[in-house]
Amino acid sequence: MTARVLVVDDILSNVKLLEAKLAAEYFEVSTAFSGLEALAKIEEHHPDIVLLDVMMPGMDGFEVCKRIKQNPKTAHLPVVMVTALDQPADRVAGLESGADDFLTKPVDDAALFARVRSLVRLKMMTDELRMREETGQSMGLLDPAQTLVDGSPTGRILVIEDRPESVAWFKAALTPQNEVVAVDSFEEALVCVRGNDPDLIVVSLGLRSFDGLRLCSQLRSLPEGRNVPILVLVSEGDRRKLTQALEMGVNDYLTRPVDRNELVARIRTQLRKKRYSDHLRQNMQLSIEMAITDQLTGLHNRRYMARHLDTLIANAEKSAKPLAFLIMDIDHFKSVNDTYGHDIGDEVLREFASRIAANVRGIDLACRYGGEEFVVVMPDTDVEFAAAVAERLRRSVEATPVPISRDPGRLNITISIGIAGSAGAGDSSEQLLHRADQALYRAKREGRNRVIAAAA
């Protein structure tokens, strides 16, 4: 995996050494020698990750990191602080400023490269979600997602550890702000992930009864665990396990003995990222739903029907089962708009759509075709049965006035319905729609408020 790496350090020899090592691993490297230059390079070159020194004149690394994370355009950009500072307080300060990791020089090359690749891989997943969200925004479907600014996120944390004293320590450190559940077996861990929907999983790689790495691999293969952050605990110096964990998609790690403040800081970072990713995924799902849904009525729209009707016809032909197509129109709907206004017309359309939804089956496809026209596609249904459903809906609409929000409080409306059935081999969506449309026109010519089926 390659990536664009920005190296920031005020000492030329440090920059050149790190640049050479990264280039040898086929990373694309750019450099900056101050905080202000780094911020400008980020704006200009859009790196995939920043390796940032702390002790720099003018603006130190902590301030640079804060500015990166407070900018909605760069808040998702991974930042690794690579510094000579080695005190726990320094590490915590870096993490609290928004850094994704804090590595103390001299840094083991293999560990650094594994961490860079891991963070870049996770960023690419977020970039895909952000790109889809931007598409939804450009179409006017979505508002911008919230940024990574939640300072005190909390959540449900699953701790997988078989040492009781460690479990007690984790619970004391993380509660009551978080809900903490602890298990000590492979099977219990899988059950909890499937059933309890954790926001973060902490896995000890020093488990005595089973292999923690194998558990991490299994968790990543579960649909329920694919997007849950995993933080592993490793013994100091156990680089092999740490590298393997990062390669299989673990999000973060802590080295024993664990500093309590560092634990809390890393937990907050991962929960913050989880909230942001969840929001992006929800927005992506919302944009998909909005693209195929009529916003006024909540039914599927014409675009969705057009894309699925040919498939439904082909399935009907392949299975030798019938398919019925209903197209319906509210009689004299123009007079409703002209007399009461378009807002009341919208109320009538919404009510009619809800009655359609209440009168069709789960396998049926109900759509707003346009204006006051609606369609229902009924798989595994012959014209006779579809006509009975249509007649039931017509009578219900005729018998029950539509409530409206101004005088006279309710309106009497009627509907006309045209029906056509699939004609077997060679039939197409255009032909089916044309036959149903002709039946609807006939219903209107013959006086409206009736159901007409097209000739077989």
Q: Rounded distance, CA 202 to CA 245, Å?
A: 12
What are the structure tokens assigned to 326, written together? Answer: 């209903």
d(CA 138, CA 134): 6
The amino acid at 161: E
- Of 372, 373, 398, 430, the catalytic one is 372
Buried-exposed string 25-57: b where 16+ CB fall within 10 A, e elsewhere: bebebbbbbbbebbbebbeeeebbbbbbbbebe
Contact 369, 325 (CB under 8 A): no
Residue of 438, 312, 329, 437 lying closest to 304 (CA atoms):
312
Structure tokens at 37: 């230059």
Q: Whole-angstrom Cα distance, residue 349 to residue 394?
A: 15
Residue 373 is among the residues annotated as catalytic for this protein: no
Strands 415-421 and 323-330: antiparallel
The count of C-alpha atoms lying within 13 angstroms of the C-alpha of 284, restricted to the half-sphere facing its C-beta, is: 13
Helix (H) or strand (E) holding 111: helix 109-138
| Tokens (6 digits) for 390 | 């249509």
**Tokens standing for 193?**
């992930």
From the centroid of its chain, how far is CA 269?
Answer: 19
Buried b (16+ CB within 10 A) or exposed e, 208-219: eeeebbebbeeb
Please identify every residue annotated as catalytic: 372
